[in-house]
């Protein structure tokens, strides 16, 4: 199959969270499975310097945004066998210090930036000599792609590709004033309650849900959750209407990147049968973070965007209580100033127990995964979550709230006394989290039990093979455009 993936961030070129990891790895995995994959993404500041092999393609284009035309220039990189990456150069939109925001303030023109990007995706899909069978967009930034393709079909694009939209996080929908719709150049009938309109506003993600041939999200449980009022972010009813084309597919893990045996970031390699190296990683991490170096004290860690979703409020409250016990905690993250302050304050009051690193640091992320004994993810909701899966591979026991992908990927003792590999709690409360931390403290001194948890986790396989198989199945579940209408009509009749 020929698949064109489109995403506003792709690892290793740009990254603010798991979306980048997921799309980068999906591209590689599709190519490894024998498909032809290409990825299109914006050319952000710094990418050309970091990847000098990028080539300028002899192709620039002008695309309409309302009654104005904006110029774009194409760059490309042969990244792996059967995997090419396209970059859209538009200096005014993408050559900036941040991806979506600076100093916690969103760029005010994110609507036009990603509308332009979506138009570039469709332009490429249509005019590249390489014609994709599927255009697979990710999140609201590419939400308008299916509608733009449909409109081009109406205007005579006979063999237009089928479309897939993956929802990585329903909380971000790309909602903009109605006036922005004029910039899409879509026909007015796309702006209705059954399409892109959302209470008088333009909702890019909703447009994707309405017009994509298939919708996926990043775990089976999250696929069920988003059709409920509690997790539906106002779109649960709409998603229920489209439930027939919605599937949940758990993300895979890129084990070439996230492994403990060949990893330039780690102090010492280790493996499921050679666990000794993990102790050295713990010792060196404690040293690096200026925490007392002591093997006996359990070390808890978190790496996270510091956002509402991630359960920072209950984590701060639970730690407040639990820090009376003999434990250490470290966090790496950035985000809401209020949460950053909260952690800094905790560290100020508990300098021997808490280490806080505000910022983005890939090496430290690997070291925390390897050096900690337990990894905390008390998310309010979590579409998939990658860090708990990284933790499992690193022999670091995840403590998670049973929601979304966290529930799908971690096994608690209560679920299986043989396969258990983590600790789950259910209520979204500091009390429930503190109780889970207490359970971890009880497991820690029991060397045999601790080892069992670790080894069970390290043996779990979330490799991309299975995930890719499911995506290809999903792509194939859309009938070719010509036969599709008839079949749907027959079923409806």
- For 342, phi then psi, to 5°, come to -55, -45
Nearer to ligand ADP, 42 or 385 (CB): 385
At its nearest, how many Å lie between ligand ADP and the CB of residue 52?
Answer: 24
At its nearest, how many Å lie between ligand ADP and the CB of residue 240?
Answer: 24
**Contact positions with ligand ADP (CB under 6 A) in 402-441:** none
Out of 7, 8, 21, 393, the only residue in the binding site for ligand ADP (CB under 6 A) is: 21
Q: Considering Cα of 227, then 199, then 9, then 361, what sign does the dihedral take?
A: negative
At its nearest, how many Å lie between ligand GLC and the CB of residue 405?
Answer: 6
Out of 334, 396, 403, 467, the only residue in the binding site for ligand ADP (CB under 6 A) is: 334
Q: In terms of Cα–Cα distance, which of 491, 444, 264 is closest to 366?
A: 264
How far is the C-alpha of 237 from the C-alpha of 221, rounded, in Å? 17
Q: Which residue is nearest to ligand ADP (CB)?
A: 18
**Integer-rounded Cα radius of gyration of the chain:** 23
Nearer to ligand GLC, 19 or 376 (CB): 19
Asked if 266 touches ligand ADP (CB under 6 A), the answer is: no
**First CA to last CA distance, the chain:** 32
Asked if 139 touches ligand ADP (CB under 6 A), the answer is: no
Q: In terms of Cα–Cα distance, which of 471, 34, 458 is closest to 252?
A: 471
Out of 14, 203, 387, 396, the only residue in the binding site for ligand ADP (CB under 6 A) is: 387
Asked if 332 touches ligand ADP (CB under 6 A), the answer is: yes
334's contact among ligand ADP, ligand GLC, none, with CB below 5 to 8 A by partner kind, is ligand ADP
Residue burial 476-488, b: 16+ Cβ < 10 Å; e: rest: eebeeeeeeeeee
At its nearest, how many Å lie between ligand GLC and the CB of residue 225?
Answer: 12
At its nearest, how many Å lie between ligand ADP and the CB of residue 10?
Answer: 13
Binding site for ligand GLC (CB under 6 A): 17-19, 22, 168-169, 218, 251, 382-386, 405
3 state DSSP class of 244: helix
At its nearest, how many Å lie between ligand GLC and the CB of residue 218?
Answer: 4
362's contact among ligand ADP, ligand GLC, none, with CB below 5 to 8 A by partner kind, is ligand ADP
Out of 361, 413, 428, 479, the only residue in the binding site for ligand ADP (CB under 6 A) is: 361
How far is the C-alpha of 260 from the C-alpha of 254, rounded, in Å? 12
303's contact among ligand GLC, ligand ADP, none, with CB below 5 to 8 A by partner kind, is ligand ADP
At its nearest, how many Å lie between ligand GLC and the CB of residue 23?
Answer: 8
Pairing state of beta strands 197-198 and 201-203?
antiparallel
How far is the C-alpha of 104 from the C-alpha of 102, rounded, in Å? 5
Q: In terms of Cα–Cα distance, which of 441, 429, 457, 447 is closest to 299?
A: 441
At its nearest, how many Å lie between ligand GLC and the CB of residue 220?
Answer: 13
**Contact positions with ligand ADP (CB under 6 A) in 286-315:** 303-305
Asked if 344 touches ligand ADP (CB under 6 A), the answer is: no
DSSP code at position 412: B
3 state DSSP class of 293: coil
Determine the interface stretch with ligand ADP among 30-38, 128-136, 281-289, 357-365 (rule: CB under 6 A). 357-365
Q: What DSSP assignment string belongs to 424-478? A: EE-SSSHHHHHHHHHHHHHHTT-HHHHHHHHHHHHH---BHHHHHHHHHHHHHHS
Determine the interface stretch with ligand ADP among 11-19, 146-154, 170-178, 196-204 (rule: CB under 6 A). 11-19
> In the chain, how long is the greatest CA-to-CA distance?
71
The HSE-up count of residue 72 (CA atoms within 13 Å, CB side) is 29
Residues near ligand ADP (CB under 6 A) are 17-19, 21, 303-305, 332-334, 360-362, 365, 384-387
């Amino acid at each position: 199959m020929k698949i064109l993936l489109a995403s506003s961030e792709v690892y290793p070129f740009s990254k603010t969270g798991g979306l980048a990891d997921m799309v980068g790895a999906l591209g590689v995995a599709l190519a490894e499975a024998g498909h032809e994959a290409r990825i299109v993404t914006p050319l952000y500041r710094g990418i050309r310097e970091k990847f000098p092999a990028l080539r300028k393609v002899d192709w620039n284009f002008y695309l309409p945004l309302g009654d104005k035309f904006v110029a774009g220039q194409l760059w490309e990189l042969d990244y792996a066998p059967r995997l090419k990456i396209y970059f859209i150069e538009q200096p005014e939109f993408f050559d900036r210090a941040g991806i979506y925001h600076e100093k916690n303030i969103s760029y005010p023109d994110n609507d036009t930036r990603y509308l332009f990007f979506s138009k570039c995706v469709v332009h490429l899909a249509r005019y590249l000599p390489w014609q994709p069978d599927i255009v697979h967009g990710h999140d609201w930034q590419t939400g308008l792609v299916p509608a733009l393709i449909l409109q081009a079909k109406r205007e005579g694009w006979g063999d237009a590709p089928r479309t897939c939209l993956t929802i990585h996080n329903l909380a971000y929908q790309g909602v903009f004033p109605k006036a922005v719709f004029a910039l899409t150049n879509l026909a007015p009938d796309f702006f209705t309650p059954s399409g892109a309109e959302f209470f008088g506003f333009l909702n890019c993600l909703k447009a994707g849900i309405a017009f994509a041939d298939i919708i996926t999200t990043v775990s089976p449980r999250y696929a069920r959750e988003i059709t409920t009022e509690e997790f539906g972010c106002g779109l649960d009813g709409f998603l229920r209407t489209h439930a027939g084309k919605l599937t949940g597919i758990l993300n895979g893990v890129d084990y070439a990147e996230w492994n403990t045996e060949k990893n330039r970031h780690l102090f010492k390699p280790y493996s499921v049968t050679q666990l000794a190296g993990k102790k050295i990683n713990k010792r060196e991490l404690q040293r690096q973070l200026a925490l007392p170096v002591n093997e006996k004290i359990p070390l808890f860690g978190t790496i996270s965007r510091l956002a509402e979703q991630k359960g920072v409020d209950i984590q701060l409250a639970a730690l407040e209580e639990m820090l009376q016990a003999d434990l250490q905690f470290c966090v790496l993250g950035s985000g809401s100033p209020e949460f950053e302050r909260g952690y800094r304050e905790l560290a100020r009051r508990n300098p021997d127990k808490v280490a806080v690193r505000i910022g983005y640091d890939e090496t430290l992320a690997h070291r925390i995964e390897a050096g900690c004994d337990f990894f905390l993810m008390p998310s309010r909701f979590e579409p998939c979550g990658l860090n708990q899966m990284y933790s499992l591979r690193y022999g670091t026991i995840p403590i998670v709230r049973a929601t979304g992908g966290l529930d799908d990927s971690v096994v608690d003792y209560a679920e299986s006394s043989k396969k258990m590999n983590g600790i789950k709690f259910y209520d979204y409360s500091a009390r429930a989290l503190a109780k889970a931390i207490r359970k971890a403290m009880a497991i820690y001194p029991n060397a045999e039990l601790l080892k069992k948890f670790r080894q069970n986790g390290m043996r779990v396989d979330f490799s991309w093979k299975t995930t890719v198989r499911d995506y290809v199945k999903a792509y194939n579940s859309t009938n070719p455009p010509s036969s599709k209408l008839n079949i749907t009509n027959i079923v409806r009749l």
